[in-house]
Amino acid sequence: MLENEISSQIIGAAIEVHKHLGPGLLESSYEACLVYELRNRGLDVKSQIPLPVIYKGIELETGYRIDILVENQVIIEIKSVDQLDGIHIAQLLTYLKLTNLKLGLLINFNSVRLIDGVKRIANNL
């Protein structure tokens, strides 16, 4: 499955979760529901994946975690904030670079209309 197809599935699933829960909950609640929704759609989904940093050839566990990885191709970073900031975009872009993946979705569930809280981030390898 191509990244664009996966991202369409993810956005549809996120809209479904937002429709049922609305804004204002913790990120962990949205994450659990989105993982359920994506798996229910038959996608391979992993959550809370440790992401070490390689420094001078040594792998260091630094506490970074990928919220959700879909089909081993698309990273989802979940937020529940007033507005997305540059630091949120930088975080996802760093995760993409550390994993050598091309596409990530930054999803802010604290939006009146979820689609306004979705940002597609591409890693120009």
Q: Cβ neighbours of residue 55 under 8 Å, at least 6 residues apart? A: none
Domain positions in the chain: 3-122
Q: What is the pLDDT of residue 125?
A: 67
Contact 117, 110 (CB under 8 A): yes
Print pLDDT tens along the chain (125 aa): 899 999 999 999 999 999 999 999 999 999 999 999 999 999 999 999 999 988 899 999 888 999 999 999 999 999 999 999 999 999 999 999 999 999 999 999 999 999 999 999 999 86
pTM: 0.94
Count of Cβ atoms closer than 10 Å to residue 64 Cβ: 14
Q: What is the pLDDT of residue 69?
A: 98
Tokens at residue 42, please?
Answer: 């038959």
**Angle, CA of 25, 98 and 91, to the nearest 5°:** 35
